[in-house]
Chain A
């Protein structure tokens, strides 16, 4: 059974860079047709898809992030990561990693989520 777990700092200063890692267990992130995804949930409980990365490491990002995002894959550690630059208070949220069954797919499973707060 595939499980995902997010890790990273819970506090980031405004204008700096947010970096999170998702560790996948129970399956290889570089095989199969699964896409590895980051989603965040704001204080208003809104869910926003941030981006996905293919098993070969090709990313697709949400244009709403204005080129502040980078995702990467580390097959040797079975991890994928999120970097979000120039953060503001609006980037404070719960960040989830999740698996998608393809480019057009639902998300299952999800990680537990990690809270990131941007401080001024």
Chain B
């Protein structure tokens, strides 16, 4: 199985600042055949369903605010939240869908200072 490791485990930022979450895969999740990275990002607030934010490592899901952006390739990826808002307090997970079983990072908790 591909192991996904996120850092940090927890992050505290001030309103309006930038939050950066890293995700490292134990092997590349890039397919040469279609030049795509098989990596997604989710936001999870307790009591709610997890919400898809980003797929193909950098494609923002419809309706997701443009302050959320994804970047990276191969084994190293980043989720950036610019101008953090109070409603962004949540857990964030990366997920690889390069092969079966799909696997998730351990999650990063984002809090407001």
A in complex with B:
yes
Binding site for B on A (CB under 8 A): 44-49, 60, 62-64, 96, 98, 100, 103-113
- Report Cα–Cα, A107/B102, bound state, in Å: 10
Interface residues of B (CB under 8 A from A): 38, 40, 42, 47-52, 55, 61, 91, 93, 95, 97-104, 106-107
Partner of B99, one of A98, A100, A104, A110: A104
- 10 residue pairs of the A-B complex, CB under 8 angstroms, read A64-B101, A103-B100, A104-B38, A104-B100, A106-B97, A107-B42, A107-B50, A108-B52, A108-B61, A112-B49
Contact A49 B49 (CB under 8 A): no
A96 and B49: CB pair below 8 A?
yes
B82 to chain A, nearest CB (A): 22
Contact A106 B104 (CB under 8 A): no
Interface residue from B95, B98, B106 paired with A46 (Cβ < 8 Å): B106
Beta-carbon nearest neighbor of A47 in chain B: B104
A49–B106 CB distance below 8 A: no
- Closest chain B residue to A104 by CB distance? B97
Bound together, the chains give a CA A76 to CA B104 distance in angstroms of 33
Report whether A107 and B106 are in contact in the complex, using a CB–CB cutoff of 8 Å: no
Note all chain B residues with C-beta closer than 8 A to A98: 50
Known: A47-B93, A62-B101, A104-B97. A110 touches B49 (CB 8 A): yes
Quick check: A46 and B104 within 8 Å, CB to CB? yes
Which residues from A are CB-within-8-Å of B95? 47, 106-107
Bound complex: CA of A47 vs CA of B101, how far in Å? Answer: 12
CB distance from A28 to the nearest CB of B (A): 20
Q: Are A106 and B49 in contact (CB under 8 A)?
A: no
